[in-house]
Amino acid sequence: MKSINFMIPVLGNPTISSPITSAYFMSDKKRILYDPYLHKDSLRDTDISCSLEIAGPREKIYFNPRETRAAIVTCGGLSPGINNVIRSVVMALSYRYGVKKISGIRYGFQGLVPSYGHKVIDLTPDLVKDIHSLGGSILSSSRGNQDISTMVDTLCSMKTNIFFCVGGDGTMRAAERIAAEISRRDVTMSVIGIPKTIDNDLNLIDKTFGFDTAISMVVNAIQCAHVEAKGAPMGIGLVKIMGRESGHIVLNATLAQNDVNFALIPEVPFELEGERGLLTILEKRLRERKHAVILVAEGAGQDLCPTGGPAKTDASGNVRLHDIGVYLKTRIEKYFKKIHMEFNLKYIDPSYTIRSVPANASDSIYCELLGQFAVHAGMAGKTNLVVGLFKGEYVHLPIKSVTSRKKVNTRGNLWMRVLEATGQPASMKN
């Protein structure tokens, strides 16, 4: 506990009265305990570092709205709700604070490197008023590391006061380095992170936006796989979805649609061959029930796939995953042909169609609130933070506290419920 410090840096003393007249104000002294099992009576004033700052508008702000310049960038892969966040930030800055200069950085962090030639666009309420009905990002995105010093040079040349970064763990690491360089230069600029990862694997964040939409889309794919599996003798529906290092989407989609018989996630290794391997158990399932549905996360079973040489990485430094869906399809077909058993396998990979759809109602609400709380934090002069849900409360979290991957707890209640729902063995290893 002592190693965790949730204090949020501030650029200076906020002395300007907020122009907001139709809302409550949140005090910096109102906090939520990091550990809910601690008792307030046992805490001393020096224990404030183990509690989290509640998000919301402040009565006194740091930046003069008439002089404030803001910029927003979206990085990494697409996720439902990005446009909702952009819209919310622009609307809150414009209508709640009267900020007139809001810049949209095109194509991720590339837009802050002049050599790429991406032009900055002016974001206005009229421009963004309808973008929440669109998938993707009107600013577009990119992957890959860019020079921190060059990006800060560009932000300074734009006279940026508040920089909003929308992205996942890689984006948040870059945002933290940008904030550190800004601090080193003694520049008055706030850096605010808005967490975006469809895999829902950012540390301490209850959920990231786009996750609820992804679940509803995966449920549709599961329903189709189930129909296909039941529509032919010894039918198998195999669905591969997102989840590089964690299986949160697989878990929640499985519980939302109880047609899955095998839920395969990165956190739980499995084998294919042998008495307790997946293929043998799948054969037993088919002989007993005549159909089966398999849901696999893209990062599951990577140790089973042929390596074919050194691991390759993408522009962001992420290891390029082997296609576990295609590999499973091939191995299942080979197995049943070998034992001369009838089967009908249908393979479904809806990953990119899930990422690019507009946000559903639940995510739309979440994105709207995240954008508003991000604006309130920036205008108050807070920096180097991420806004997000923690234990059901909107809070400010230091950027460095969220960048590690949040894994599925394979001894936790949610995974136990998945095992009960699917009926699969707790271990498929010999």
Q: Are 239 and 350 in contact (CB under 8 A)?
A: yes
Task: Find how far residue 65's CA is from the centre of its chain.
Answer: 30
Of 199, 212, 259, 363, the active-site residue reads 199
Distance from C-alpha of 56 to C-alpha of 205, rounded to nearest angstrom: 17
| Maximum Cα–Cα distance across the chain | 78
How is residue 319 annotated by DSSP?
B
Q: Are 154 and 114 in contact (CB under 8 A)?
A: yes
CA angle 161, 172, 295 (to 5 degrees): 140
Backbone angles phi, psi at 65, to 5 degrees: -55, -35
Q: Are 399 and 172 in contact (CB under 8 A)?
A: yes
Closest CA to 196 of 75, 374, 362: 75
Closest CA to 240 of 316, 327, 125: 327
Residues 6+ apart with CB under 8 A from 385: 8, 9, 191, 192, 193, 377, 396, 397, 398, 399
Distance from C-alpha of 371 to C-alpha of 341, rounded to nearest angstrom: 55
- The answer to whether 199 is a known catalytic residue is yes
Structure tokens that stand for 309 in this block: 């040489």
Q: How far is CA 199 from CA 79, 164, 167, 220, 302, in A?
A: 10, 21, 12, 18, 17
Task: Find how far residue 244's CA is from the centre of its chain.
Answer: 12
Distance from C-alpha of 16 to C-alpha of 159, rounded to nearest angstrom: 20
Closest CA to 232 of 346, 348, 347, 344: 344
Q: Are 186 and 215 in contact (CB under 8 A)?
A: no
The residues annotated as belonging to the active site are 199
